[in-house]
Amino acid sequence: MEKIKLRGLSTVSFYADDHEKAKTWYTEILGMEPYFNVPGYSEFRLGDFQHELGIIDRKYAPKDSATEIGGAIAYWHVDDLQETVDLLISKGAKLYEPMIDRSGEKMTFVTASVIDPFGNILGIMTNEHYLEILDKMNVE
C-alpha cells in the first residue's frame, strides 16, 4: 500500500463574515495585495515557499463548520516573534496564546497565536528547524 505524502502546506483558509474587510486587514498586515481575487475569495502567497493564505466569505465555509474559536492551529514562521505579536495586536487582533518557549533539549522554537478581527486563530512561531531548511536551500 502506497503511503500518502504530505508535500507541504498548500493553503490555509480563513473565513470572515465581511470578506472585503478581512481582505483589507490582511493586505495591510502582510504589506501586499492578494495575488488572486474573485468575489468572496482572495489568496495571498506568503513566505519562502509561497504557501497560500485564503480569505473566504463565511457563506462558503463547509457545511457545519465550526464558528467558535478552536481546533487546529497552523503556525507561520516569523523572524521576530515579539514584533509580529505587537503588530498584530496593534491592528486589532487579540492575544490567544502568549509566547511560549516549547524548546526541548535538541531544538529551539517559540510559539504564540492571536485571534484576528474575524475570529480566526493565526499561529506564529520562530523555529530553528525551519531556519535549518532555509539554510540548506540557501534561502535568505
* Residue 66 within any structural domain of the chain: no
Q: Which of 61, 80, 103 is at the close of a domain?
A: 61
Distance (Å, whole) CA 102 – CA 111: 7
CA atoms within 13 A on the CB side of 83: 5
Residue type for 81, please? L
In a domain, 139, yes or no: yes
pTM: 0.85
C-alpha cell at 117: 478581527
Please indicate, yes or no, if residue 126 is contained in any of the structural domains. Answer: yes
Q: What is the CATH number of the domain that holds 104?
A: 3.10.180.10
CA proximity to 81, closest of 105, 103, 100:
100
2 part of a folded domain:
no
**What's the pLDDT score for residue 67?**
77
Domains: count for the chain: 2
Asked if residue 76 and residue 45 are part of one domain, the reply reads no
pLDDT (tens digit per residue) in 78-104: 989 999 999 999 999 999 999 999 887
Helix (H) or strand (E) holding 26: helix 19-30
| Domain range enclosing 29 | 7-61
Q: Indicate if 16 and 47 belong to the same structural domain.
A: yes
Q: What pLDDT digit, counting tens, does each position of 95-131 carry?
A: 999 999 988 766 678 999 999 999 999 999 998 888 8
Counting DSSP H helices and E strands in the chain, the numbers are 3, 8
CB 78 within 8 A of CB 84: yes
Residue 72, pLDDT score: 79
